[in-house]
Chains A and B, each alone.
Chain A
Amino acid sequence: MTQSFPEEVLEHVFSFLTSHTDRNAVSLVSKSWYDTERWCRDHVFIGNCYAVNPRVLTRRFKEVKAVELKGKPHFADFNLVPEGWGGCVDPWIVEMGRVYSGLEEIRLKRMEVTDEGLEMVAKGFGKLKVLVLASCDGFSTDGLAAVAANCRNLRVLDLRECEVEELSCHWLSHFPDSFTLLESLNIACLSSEVSFSALERLVSRSPNLKTLKLNRTVPLEKLSTLLQRAPQLVEFGTGAYSAEGLDAYSSLAEAFSGCKKLKSLSGFWDVIPAYLPAVYSVCSQLTSLNLSYATTQSPDLSKIISHCHNLQRLVVLDYIEDTGLETVATSCKDLKELVVFPSDPYVADANVPLTEQGLVSVSQGCTKLHSVLYFCRQMSNSALVSISKNRPNITCFRLCILEPRSPDYLTLEPLDTGFGSIVENCKQLTRLSMSGLLTDRVFEYIGKHAKKLDMLSIAFAGDTDLGLHYILSGCDSLRKLEIRDCPFGDKALLANASKLETMRSLWMSSCFVSFGACKLLGQKMPRLNVEVIDERENLNSIPENVPVEKVYIYRTVCGQRFDMPDFVRIMGKDKADVYNLS
């Protein structure tokens, strides 16, 4: 059959497809659509850097303007992935530097980035406009200096939640005086001082600056200076929000009132309540407010929140208490996303008056609420049922009850029915994290109802392999599954081997998956990498029926990876196991 549309027409049609899922679907229609699509895709998203390799990328797509890469598994955020595991971006930069001279945007998440890598970026991509490093590490302020000095077209430098080796405070000075294009700067993750004069000069010569997120060391007294230089800001993150005395108050309040476009506020480390009212003039404009570093009591938090009638996103500590969340429920009718972090995560019986009731209140009052991340110390099935009935529009529900295996505190039963109610009523649920006492039954509910579930996180839950089997056989849309400390083992894993190829990845740590099963799985499934991550000595002498410490299974078109440290083995490739040859 000859092609009915000329290529140019197809390309034009494809140009309206921006989502990479749609682009991927289109490329599967036919060989000619695949070819047309690959010539005109300029934004590439790679959710697992080891699912492909740099050459596969550059062979397929020829003129890429924007690339997004993700490295380590999500549980790396909680120190479950040993250092040196992998996810280094340098080989990607080398290969992309060779082919994509017009690259404009680089977004990396949980990757290891080196100073050499940043230098290659700085010198290899003259058109670079956007550099976003999320939860990355491995680089220092020297690398940032190279970026500042060389990226003449940079608009966005966003270092969200990175770990940076801070060798010098002067890297900001490396932006040339002639550089005026900056639109977004996020340095909130830096713990050392940056040169304030360099920062001030940079802000002053950046008329397009819309996002500025400072780090903790920028003193409150200097904020009004910066805000006066940049009244056009849309997103602003303060530094430490405290000062001796109240002298700085009126100029700060005045500076904030000049920011007519401000929509997002964050920062607020070491907050002094007396200074909070300085932001009241902008509260009604705010759609996003992050007070998760504000260690101040509920009344102060409630006051500021009560002014934020247009708030859509709120991040706060459990200092807000149930009463504060009631204020949220009555004042923030547009709220879509709520995040409540624990102030003292390691103290068991901290007398924090934040309970399940706070979340219930918000679920009642905020009809647009669809995303929840909530840390608390007690939960009940009845509360979960209420929440699910109040808010069937929830798409992301992450609940962390601090004590593992906590039962319903009213009935001492497992929380199976509560979470079951969540998956049954919230039919659009795409992300779920569970905690508390949970038996295999909750997984039966999830497998039965959670048909749109894309990502599931499980910890200290379940009784037998049936639990894992329900998930893998029932959740049709599941792509990311991460499990820790659950009694799931070989049987369910092997019985659902083919399911694993439909997923991006599966993480299991401190479970009952044996070396032998990993090897078998790796042998049977050539398009899966079954990575055993195990730091014990003498691995060769451990019997095959012994559980591994951690296993990370992901689909890949590349098979072997060549950058594994000694504690990582890809199982079952070749006749025997393939060990790292170093």
Chain B
Amino acid sequence: MDLNFKATELSLALPGTEDLPDNNTTTTSPNPIIKTTNKRPSPDMTPTETDESRAAPQPKAQVVGWPPVRSYRKNVLHGKKAEAETGSGMFVKVSMDGAPYLRKIDLKVYKSYGELMKSLEGMFACIIGLYSENEGYNGSKHAATYEDKDGDWMLVGDVPWDMFVTSCKRLRIMKGCEARGLNL
């Protein structure tokens, strides 16, 4: 079927150059660079499937957002109050003063304050020092605080890690000057 692509095409190429590859291949570079991250499993993107090729089902890796069922439905079989999106994760919101949006992290992923701080620094591109008795927040511009189960705002680092993980409800990265007002 002649769709007369050329007549309507907004070509990426300079005018007058040869047409792009024919219809049986994809339109982008043959080996798209998909940087793998740990955010989601790579979907199978090979473009070469034809009608006859697919007899065996896909591998069993869980694909993000598939099947298209809302998170709260996934817990129907598995007991009452569960963190809807995450199963057994312990997601808390993280805000940073001055940042226009919040992030969410799973505290269960970290084993220590050091790991947590590194991750937060990476997320918000700032330097947060770990508070220590002797040096305070060590000249850093920001301080990490958290809201505990009682609704109080506490400085991150005071209590043992395990106690922190179970009592932390949300995190807030304060500007260092405000944190200093906490009489550190």
Q: Is the CB of B33 within 8 A of A542?
A: yes
Extra pairs beyond A79-B65, A79-B71 (9, CB < 8 Å): A78-B66, A163-B84, A167-B151, A269-B76, A342-B67, A405-B54, A466-B3, A535-B37, A545-B28
Q: What are 7 of the A-B contact pairs (CB < 8 Å)?
A: A80-B65, A83-B103, A161-B72, A402-B67, A465-B23, A490-B12, A512-B32
Q: Is the CB of A487 within 8 A of B45?
A: yes
Q: CB of A459 within 8 A of chain B?
A: yes
Q: Is the CB of B64 within 8 A of A80?
A: yes
Q: Is the CB of B65 within 8 A of A484?
A: yes
> What string of 1s and 0s marks CB contacts (under 8 Å) between B54-75 and chain A?
1101101011111111111110
Q: List chain B residues, Cβ under 8 A from A510.
A: 43, 45
Q: Count residues on chain B whose CB falls below 8 Å from chain A CBs.
A: 59
Q: CB of A570 within 8 A of chain B?
A: no
What is the bound-complex CA distance between A494 and B13, given in angstroms? Answer: 12
**Residues of A near any B CB (own CB < 8 A):** 75, 77-80, 83-84, 161, 163, 167, 189, 191-192, 216-217, 240, 269-270, 292-293, 295, 317, 341-346, 348, 375, 400, 402-407, 412-414, 433, 437, 439, 457, 459, 463-466, 469, 473, 484-485, 487, 489-491, 494-497, 510, 512, 514, 516-517, 520-521, 524, 535-537, 542-543, 545-547, 563, 565, 582
Q: CB of B183 within 8 A of chain A?
A: no
Q: Is the CB of B70 within 8 A of A161?
A: yes
What is the bound-complex CA distance between A516 and B32, given in angstroms? Answer: 13
Q: Is the CB of A464 within 8 A of B24?
A: yes
Of all chain B residues, the one with the shortest Cβ separation from A346 is B62
What is the bound-complex CA distance between A494 and B65, given in angstroms? Answer: 27
Q: Is the CB of B62 within 8 A of A344?
A: no
Q: Is the CB of A464 within 8 A of B23?
A: yes
The DSSP consensus for interface residues of chain B is loop
- Sort A-B residue pairs by CB-CB distance and give the 7 closest, nearest first: A78-B65, A84-B101, A489-B27, A494-B10, A491-B27, A487-B47, A545-B29
Cross-chain contact of A348 among B28, B60, B68, B102 (Cβ < 8 A): B60
What is the bound-complex CA distance between A464 and B50, given in angstroms? Answer: 10
Q: List chain A residues, Cβ under 8 A from B3.
A: 466, 469, 473
> What string of 1s and 0s marks CB contacts (under 8 Å) between B73-109 and chain A?
1101100110011000000000000011111100000
What is the bound-complex CA distance between A521 and B34, given in angstroms? Answer: 22
What is the bound-complex CA distance between A463 and B33, given in angstroms? Answer: 20
What is the bound-complex CA distance between A217 and B24, given in angstroms? Answer: 56
Q: Is the CB of B50 within 8 A of A295?
A: no
Q: Is the CB of A565 within 8 A of B100?
A: yes
Q: Is the CB of B9 within 8 A of A582?
A: no
Q: List chain B residues, Cβ under 8 A from A543.
A: 29, 33
What is the bound-complex CA distance between A299 and B51, given in angstroms? Answer: 40
Known contacts A83-B103, A565-B100; is-contact A466 B23 (Cβ 8 Å): yes
Of all chain B residues, the one with the shortest Cβ separation from A440 is B23
